Amino acid sequence: MLSLEDLRRRTSEKWRRYPPDVLPAWVAEMDVPLAEPVAEALTDAIALSDTGYPMGTDYAEALAEFAATRWGWTPNTEHTALVPDVMLGIVEVLKLVTGYGDAVVINPPVYAPFFDFIAGMDRRVVEAPLSAEHRLDPEALDRAFTEAVAGGRRAAFLLCSPHNPTGTVHTADELAMVTELADRHGVRVVVDEIHAPLVHPGATFLPYLSLPGSERGFALLSASKAWNLAGVKAAVAVAGPEAAADLARMPTVAGDGASHLGVIAHVAALRYGTPWLDALLAGLDHNRRLLGTLLADQLPQIRYRIPDGTYLAWLDCRELELTDDRTDDRRADPAEVFLQRGRVAVVPGAVFGTGGTGHVRFNFGTSEELVTEAVRRMAVALR
């Protein structure tokens, strides 16, 4: 991990959004050095002035190799498309299988941009909230699918797997339930698997398209979260066998926003960055447990389920006695309290939709020292 002094020299959003006295534990960037194979690949490209447009299927092929080794699943590279990033790829896929006014089902609390991008496409959000245990709820999904296809409308289900912000890794039985319900209702499944490589001991990631019944589905994958490559954008859309013709209708220009340097970086990560990833996962496993110990000791009112995936912690702060200094209202936003009184930036839970109010999302993808300091500051904020 990098020192705090080095991190404050960064110019990315995580380290420039707030004043220098604020410790950022919010946006999904990690405080890690770049994987050496990635740094070498980018350095070599710059030395050649190789900064043009992306070309070829290297990314899809590298992803297929990684997926085969890591998850026992080999996506068909002929059923893939290069896209600028996972979220923009999701938008393009949803355009293929839904029309104006159609519904997209999501599972709040969930990645906040889902709401904005769906609304920006003139589609309707239909919610199937997670259960109290942060799991997919079959009854909620059944109701949402029924509502989504009412009147013979087309509909899609946008699944976050692993789930952001809760860190839930969906089980084989849960994903089989999704395929069964989607088939019954005629709903097309689109899965955001951007955090797929970031799964911790005790849990197993299952690529949605590796499962029986997923043939009409789509998945969006990228090396960006696991190797901290958000600044060099690229992603891959993958179609199930019965969805390949739909993906083939995606306009070629949809992939033009992908960065050539991004493709180079992601290919290097997938092909040569596995040792770095394994070391990262060991550190994240330590940090997710350390966070639990620190919270139990200093902030026992906060409820925390150790996540099975991602480097994001979903903290339930509803039992805290928080008062808004301006209104003397005991419904103060915990994220605002931690920021103003503790100088720690976390993401307010309300932006993740239903079930998010009273929670915060905390990024533990940093050093042990900064996790410890952030919790110390959060505890001070409540004194």
Full DSSP string of 80-109: EEEESSHHHHHHHHHHHH--TT-EEEE-SS
> In this predicted structure, what is the pLDDT of residue 255?
86
- According to DSSP, the β-strands at 235-239 and 124-127 are unpaired
Percent of the chain predicted with pLDDT > 90 = 94
Identify which of 222, 236, 199 has the alpha carbon closest to the alpha carbon of residue 269. 222
Give the model's confidence band at 1: pLDDT under 50 very low, under 70 low, under 90 confident, else very high: low
Residue 246, token pair as written in the block = 């739909």
**Percentage of residues of the chain with pLDDT beyond 70:** 98
Gap between the Cα atoms of 8 and 2, Å rounded: 10
So what's the pLDDT on residue 383? 85
Looking at residue 322, its pLDDT comes to 84
pLDDT tens string 220-258 = 999 999 999 999 999 999 999 999 999 999 998 988 899
What pTM was computed for the model? Answer: 0.96
Query: First and final CA of the chain: distance in angstroms?
Result: 30
Residue 127: CB atoms within 10 Å = 18
Angle CA 19–24–28, to nearest 5: 130
Q: How many residues does the chain have?
A: 383
Classify 299 as helix, strand or coil: coil
Question: Is residue 316 exposed (0-12), middle (13-18) or buried (19+ Cβ within 10 Å)?
Answer: middle
DSSP class per residue in 176-238: HHHHHHHHHHTPEEEEE-TTTT-B-TT-----GGGSTT-TT-EEEE-STTTTT-TTS--EEEE
Peptide bond into 75 cis (omega under 30): no
29-48 average pLDDT score: 98
pLDDT in tens, 111-153: 999 999 999 999 999 999 999 999 999 999 999 999 999 999 9
Q: What is the per-residue pLDDT for 330?
A: 59
- Measured CA to CA, the distance from residue 32 to residue 29 in angstroms comes to 9
**Residue linked to tokens 């960065």:** 259
Provide the 3-class DSSP secondary structure of residue 123.
coil
- 205-218: average pLDDT: 98
